[in-house]
C-alpha cells in the first residue's frame, strides 16, 4: 500500500491569521494529492524529492522560496534525503541562492561525498546546472527588519512508502530566522531526517532540540527493534519533553502505518493514502 505524509512546520494561532491557516491547509492538501499521483509511477525517493520541491516553491512555508533570513541578512538553506532501501543519506548545509536545495541533495546521491556545505555546496550546484535563484520574498525581509528592532519555527518534509515497499524521507528548511550566521539546523542530519527499510521520519521545530534528542534516528531505530511506530514516537517524544524540546515529526513504517506527533501545537501536516486525506486542524 502506497502512502505519504508531508509537513510544513508549525502554525501559531497567536501570530498567524485564520486566512493563513486555511491557505496552508489547502496548499498541503493539493501538494499531498499531486505527490500521491506522482508516487503511483515513481519510487519513494523520487516522490519525497518531488513533494519537498513543491513545498520549497510555496511561499507559505519556510524552505526554498520564502526561507528565513539569518542575522547577517543572508538566506542559507539546508536539505537532506535518505533512501531506506539503499541506506544512503545525502544533503546540503547552508547553501545559498538555489531554488530547490532538495534537488541538489538528490544529485549528491550519486557521489561518494554526499553531504556538502556552504560555498562547496553552491559550487557543486552550479557545476550541475542549478541556476542562481533568490529565495527571498518581501515578507521575510519585513520580518527580518522587525527582528532587527527588537521567530517562527518551520521546515518542510515528506516521508513515503512506494508500491514496492521502499521507504524514503526528505526534509528542507530555511532556518529559524535571525540565527547566528552559519548556524546549522537538524534538517541535513540524521536527527531530523532518517529512513531505513522499516521506517522513515522527517522532523520540524527547533533544530538544536531535535539534534539533542536524535529524534528521527531514535524513532526509526525503535521501529527497527520491534516497537510499533506509535510507541516509538511516544517514547521518543517523552524523552524530548525532558528537555522541553520543541519539535514535530511525521513517519511511516514498512506496513503503511502512518503517525505524527508534536511537542507543542500545532504542526502543519497532511497525509494521504489514495483514499483518506488527513490535514492538521
Distance CA 195, CA 217 (A): 8
205 is in an annotated binding site: yes
- Put the strands of the sheet holding 247-253 in their side by side order: 193-195, 199-205, 247-253, 258-262
Distance CA 243, CA 193 (A): 20
3-state secondary structure of 168: strand
For residues 201, 207, 209 and 210, what is the CA-based torsion angle, rounded to 10 degrees? 10
Name the catalytic one among 47, 65, 135, 155.
Answer: 155
Sequence-distant (≥ 6) Cβ neighbours of residue 72 within 8 angstroms: 181
99 is in an annotated binding site: no
Angle, helices 44-57 vs 18-39, to 10°: value is 150
- DSSP code of 258? E
141 is in an annotated binding site: no
222 is in an annotated binding site: no
92 is in an annotated binding site: no
204 is in an annotated binding site: yes
The verdict on whether 155 is a catalytic residue reads yes
Strand partners, 117: 93
For the chain, what is the total number of helices (H) and then of strands (E)?
Answer: 8, 12
206 is in an annotated binding site: yes
Rg (CA), the chain: 17
Question: What residues are annotated to the active site?
Answer: 155
Binding-site entries: 183-186, 204-207
> Annotated binding site for substrate: which residue ranges?
183-186, 204-207
Amino acid at each position: 500500500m502506497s502512502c505519504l505524509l508531508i509537513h510544513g512546520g508549525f502554525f501559531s494561532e497567536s501570530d498567524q491569521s485564520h486566512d493563513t491557516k486555511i491557505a496552508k491547509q489547502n496548499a498541503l492538501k493539493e501538494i499531498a494529492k499531486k505527490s500521491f499521483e506522482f508516487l503511483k509511477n515513481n519510487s519513494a525517493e523520487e516522490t519525497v524529492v518531488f513533494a519537498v520541491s513543491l513545498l520549497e516553491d510555496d511561499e507559505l512555508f519556510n524552505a526554498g522560496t520564502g526561507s528565513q533570513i539569518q542575522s547577517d541578512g543572508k538566506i542559507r538553506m539546508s536539505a537532506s534525503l535518505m533512501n531506506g532501501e539503499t541506506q544512503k543519506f545525502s544533503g546540503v548545509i547552508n547553501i545559498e541562492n538555489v531554488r530547490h536545495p532538495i534537488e541538489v541533495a538528490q544529485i549528491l546521491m550519486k557521489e561518494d561525498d554526499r553531504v556538502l556545505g556552504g560555498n562547496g555546496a553552491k559550487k557543486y550546484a552550479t557545476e550541475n546546472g542549478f541556476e542562481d535563484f533568490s529565495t527571498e520574498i518581501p515578507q521575510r525581509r519585513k520580518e527580518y527588519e522587525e527582528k532587527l528592532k527588537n521567530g517562527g519555527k518551520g521546515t518542510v518534509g515528506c516521508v513515503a512508502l512506494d508500491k514496492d515497499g521502499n521507504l524514503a524521507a526528505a526534509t528542507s528548511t530555511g532556518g529559524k530566522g535571525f540565527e547566528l550566521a552559519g548556524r546549522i539546523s537538524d534538517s541535513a542530519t540524521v536527527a531530523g531526517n532518517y529512513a531505513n527499510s522499516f521506517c522513515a521520519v522527517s522532523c520540524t521545530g527547533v533544530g538544536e532540540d531535535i539534534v539533542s534528542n536524535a529524534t528521527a534516528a531514535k524513532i526509526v531505530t525503535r521501529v527497527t527493534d520491534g516497537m510499533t511506530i506509535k510507541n516509538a514516537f511516544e517514547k521518543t517524544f517523552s524523552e524530548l519533553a525532558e528537555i522541553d524540546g520543541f519539535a514535530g515529526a511525521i513517519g511511516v513504517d514498512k506496513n503503511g502505518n502512518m503517525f505524527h506527533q508534536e511537542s507543542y501545537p500545532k504542526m502543519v501536516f497532511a497525509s494521504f493514502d489514495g483514499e483518506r486525506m488527513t490535514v492538521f486542524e
